[in-house]
Structure 1
Amino acid sequence: MRLLIDGDGSPVKEEVIALGQKFNLPVLIVTSVDHYTTKVYPKEVAFIYVDKGADRADYQIVKEIQVGDILITQDYGLASLVLPKKARVFHHSGQEYLPETIDQLLMQRYLSAQIRKTGKRTKGPKPFTAQDRQNFSKELEQVLLTKQSAERNNG
């Protein structure tokens, strides 16, 4: 199991890295070369940099994801491509994307885009708060604790 981050704008990279260290899990951050960093990260953290362009990071993530991995993204479209690969997918709010609800989220996104095309405005996302960050960390940690416990019990 690995933790993957759709890195082009994820506000929870540091939280995922901290949880990766706590649970001794590799963390893979996929991001465009626009976000190249020379910051030193723990050895468990790897980067894949992709060329600039719409959805390039998404395509790389779909290629990289494996059964049992956990992906952090706010992209519903990417989530819909990864869920059939038996990975778990979480929004940075801590909400888990589920196969039974992803179609509804995609439809809402489509309808909002249609409304914007007519010149009307739709609500954007709420600002990401410290409470959101805390909720995300708490949710992901609980998921990892549950997985760790299940693995121990299955020996």
Structure 2
Amino acid sequence: MLIVDGDGSPVKEEVIRLGEFFQLPVLIVTSVDHYTTKEYPDFVRFIYVDKGADSADYQIVKEIHAGDILITQDYGLASLVLPKKARVFHHSGKEYLPETIDFLLTQRYLGTQMRKSGKRTKGPKAFTKDDRQAFFEQLKKVLQEP
């Protein structure tokens, strides 16, 4: 199954296209703030959760199983599902790995501390059409693996 941490994900449509091509179910977990009436194919399922910083994360941890693929930009969520033997990708196409997740969490913590002390840090760069295509190609390559 392909699972998308849906709040703010710029690659939902790409994941749906790949789910259709590879005949995989797609689950999008998002807050009720992002409710949509748009019609989706039967292999796409939405779970809407209450507002709250970690509501979607808790639902994803509950739903994910070994072998599933999660798309998220949340390092904390990635660290919770990697022990469940799921694969986790950022929408840039980069894979979160057990051997690098602690470093990423430490970076996030240090960035938070810097911002709390009044220092400015750079935000993410704008997500481009090329970024979207790179993600699509990377996930397609992963799904083609034996």
Residue 23 of structure 1 corresponds to 22
1:123, distance to aligned residue in structure 2 (A): 1.1
Shift of residue 128, structure 1, vs aligned partner: 0.6
Name the residue aligned to 1:97. 96
Q: Which runs of 5+ in 2 are unaligned?
A: none
Q: Any unmatched runs of 5+ in structure 1?
A: 151-155
Q: CA separation in 2, counterparts of 1:22 and 1:34?
A: 29
How high is the TM-score relative to the length of structure 1?
A: 0.93
State the 1:48 CA deviation: 0.4
| Aligned-partner Cα distance in 2 for 1:76–1:126 | 17
Runs of 4+ in 1 over 6 A off after TM superposition: none
Cross-structure match for 1:52:
51
1:6-53 CA distance string (max 9 Å, x none): 000000000000000000000000000000000000110000000111
Q: Secondary structure at the match of 1:109?
A: helix
In structure 2, distance between residues paired with 1:6 and 1:54: 12
Number of residue-to-residue matches in the alignment: 146
Check if 1:33 corresponds to 2:32.
yes
Letter in 2 for 1:93: S
AA paired with 1:81?
L
The alignment-based identity, stated in percent, is 77
Q: What do the CA deviations read for 1:82-103 (whole angstroms, capped 9, x no partner)?
A: 0000000000000000000000
